[in-house]
């Protein structure tokens, strides 16, 4: 495979798995970037010999530069560094797996530079869906979804007419608190919330899976990735995470993509598209599972999920507002400042607190982002008193 990739967020869960995929299939690494994990980034740089490495946290720049002083790897830092890496002419594809809003500007920069994108950063499409999809269309850039659900939908769309797609069925594992009542959730601790039954992920995404915000964000992403109306997206709880999502066509044929719950399959598909080659995850054995179950989500208990859906139905800045409010609320929960159920309460309250506004530029996204964060911090301050 004569492909060159740059990986943003290389030290995270998706990033490290992506590097395994690149190693296995001979994809050359042009650049690697991470938030602050200098030690792992150094190891990766020594192993994959990129031309550039970037560290988002500027206070780690000197340390990283010293670590790599005996190499000829160029070290960059900050948002500027991430964006420079995103636009490098040497790479064919940019895999963006950074966590949070930080991912949006590098995605826009990569698209502007005509790079195809393997997208694992949810916030890119949640907060800037209109901007990102319009720019990608203008530049003729392809966005390959890395998330298992969107990869599944993307796979189910191959070889069929997009105009005959009637809806998509987005599956959800339901998280560790599926079946619990709102009252049950009052006593949830950080340790409870950080356990996930099927997937091994970073802390932010694990909490988002427990609140079902993750599914809400995926709902919004699906709308933008596949140009859907929110009414065309159905969420189905499927505890086994074997059916990664499905699509329904006008003839009511439903086509699903199945596989073992392992991110290497969608990562590999995004990086090697359209090739299909054996994945180290191994085969799915349906008889080992025996039965697969499908249930409706509980929108009353999981307030983040309903808030995210309502946000994309309203459009404008609302998806960005709920996403940024969620980032702040999750951060506060992980810092033991608020309870688990407060996350959902805070995220839904954004819909009442903010008046409709449009997103026409990156600055509009940033304004909505800081307004939502300021609102949440103030609210948390009030709660704590």
Residues that bind Mg ion (CB under 5 A): 147-149
- For Mg ion, the closer of residues 38 and 107 by Cβ is 107
- For Mg ion, the closer of residues 5 and 152 by Cβ is 152
DSSP 299-336: TTT-HHHHHHHHHHHH-TTHHHHHHHHHHHHHHHHHTT
- Report, in Å, the least distance between residue 205 CB and Mg ion: 8
Residue indicated by tokens 């995470």: 241
Q: Is 57 left (phi over 0), alpha (psi -120 to 50) or beta?
A: beta
- For Mg ion, the closer of residues 4 and 196 by Cβ is 196
- For Mg ion, the closer of residues 150 and 373 by Cβ is 150
- Report, in Å, the least distance between residue 214 CB and Mg ion: 6
- For Mg ion, the closer of residues 87 and 210 by Cβ is 210
- Report, in Å, the least distance between residue 133 CB and Mg ion: 19
- Report, in Å, the least distance between residue 149 CB and Mg ion: 5
Residue indicated by tokens 């560290």: 55
User: Residue 3 has which token pair?
Assistant: 């492909």
- Report, in Å, the least distance between residue 218 CB and Mg ion: 6
Q: What's the CA gap between 29 and 26, in Å, rounded?
A: 9
- For Mg ion, the closer of residues 149 and 262 by Cβ is 149
Q: What are phi and psi of 355, to 5 degrees?
A: -80, 155
- For Mg ion, the closer of residues 149 and 248 by Cβ is 149
The three-state secondary structure class of 235 is: strand
Residue indicated by tokens 């329904």: 248
- Report, in Å, the least distance between residue 335 CB and Mg ion: 25
Looking at beta carbons, which residue is closest to Mg ion? 147
Q: What's the CA gap between 55 and 77, in Å, rounded?
A: 5
Angle 72-76-77 from CA coordinates, rounded to 5°: 150
- Report, in Å, the least distance between residue 269 CB and Mg ion: 14
Q: What's the CA gap between 6 and 10, in Å, rounded?
A: 9
The three-state secondary structure class of 256 is: strand
- Report, in Å, the least distance between residue 263 CB and Mg ion: 9
- For Mg ion, the closer of residues 55 and 217 by Cβ is 217
- Report, in Å, the least distance between residue 334 CB and Mg ion: 20
* Cα dihedral sign, 275-129-370-185: negative
Q: What's the CA gap between 181 and 63, in Å, rounded?
A: 48
Q: What's the CA gap between 251 and 315, in Å, rounded?
A: 30
- For Mg ion, the closer of residues 91 and 323 by Cβ is 323
Angle 240-244-247 from CA coordinates, rounded to 5°: 130
Helix (H) or strand (E) holding 23: helix 13-25
């Amino acid at each position: 495979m004569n492909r060159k990739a740059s990986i943003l967020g290389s030290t995270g869960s998706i990033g490290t798995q992506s590097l395994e995929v690149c190693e296995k299939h001979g994809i050359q690494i042009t650049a690697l970037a991470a938030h602050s994990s200098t030690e792992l980034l150094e190891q990766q740089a020594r192993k994959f010999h990129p031309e550039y490495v970037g560290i988002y946290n500027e206070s780690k720049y000197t340390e990283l530069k010293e670590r790599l002083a005996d190499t000829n790897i160029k070290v960059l830092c900050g948002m500027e560094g991430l964006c420079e890496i995103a636009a490098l002419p040497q790479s064919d594809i940019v895999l963006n797996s950074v966590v949070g809003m930080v991912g949006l500007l590098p995605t826009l920069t990569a698209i502007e530079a005509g790079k195809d994108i393997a997208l694992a950063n949810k916030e890119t499409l949640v907060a800037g869906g209109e901007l990102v999809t319009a720019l990608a269309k203008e530049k003729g850039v392809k966005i390959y979804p890395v998330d298992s659900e969107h990869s599944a939908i993307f796979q189910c769309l191959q070889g069929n007419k997009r105009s005959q797609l009637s809806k998509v069925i987005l599956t959800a594992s339901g998280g560790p608190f599926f079946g619990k009542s709102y009252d049950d959730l009052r006593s949830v601790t950080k340790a409870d919330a950080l356990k996930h039954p099927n997937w091994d992920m970073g802390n932010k995404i694990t909490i988002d899976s427990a609140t079902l915000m993750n599914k809400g964000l995926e709902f919004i992403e699906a709308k933008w990735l596949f140009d859907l109306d929110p009414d065309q997206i159905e969420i189905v709880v499927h505890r086994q995470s074997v059916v990664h999502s499905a699509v329904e066509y006008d003839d009511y044929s439903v086509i699903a993509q199945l596989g073992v719950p392992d991110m290497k399959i969608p990562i590999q598909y995004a990086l090697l598209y359209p090739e299909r080659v054996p994945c180290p995850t191994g085969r799915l054995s349906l008889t080992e599972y025996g039965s697969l179950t499908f249930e409706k989500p509980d929108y009353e208990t999981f307030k983040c999920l309903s808030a995210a859906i309502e946000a994309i139905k309203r459009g404008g800045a609302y998806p960005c507002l709920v996403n940024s409010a969620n980032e702040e609320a999750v951060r506060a929960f992980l810092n033991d400042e608020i309870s688990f159920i407060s996350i959902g309460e805070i995220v839904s309250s954004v819909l009442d607190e903010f008046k409709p506004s449009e997103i026409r530029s990156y600055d509009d996204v940033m304004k909505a982002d800081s307004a939502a964060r300021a609102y949440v911090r103030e609210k948390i301050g009030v709660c704590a008193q």
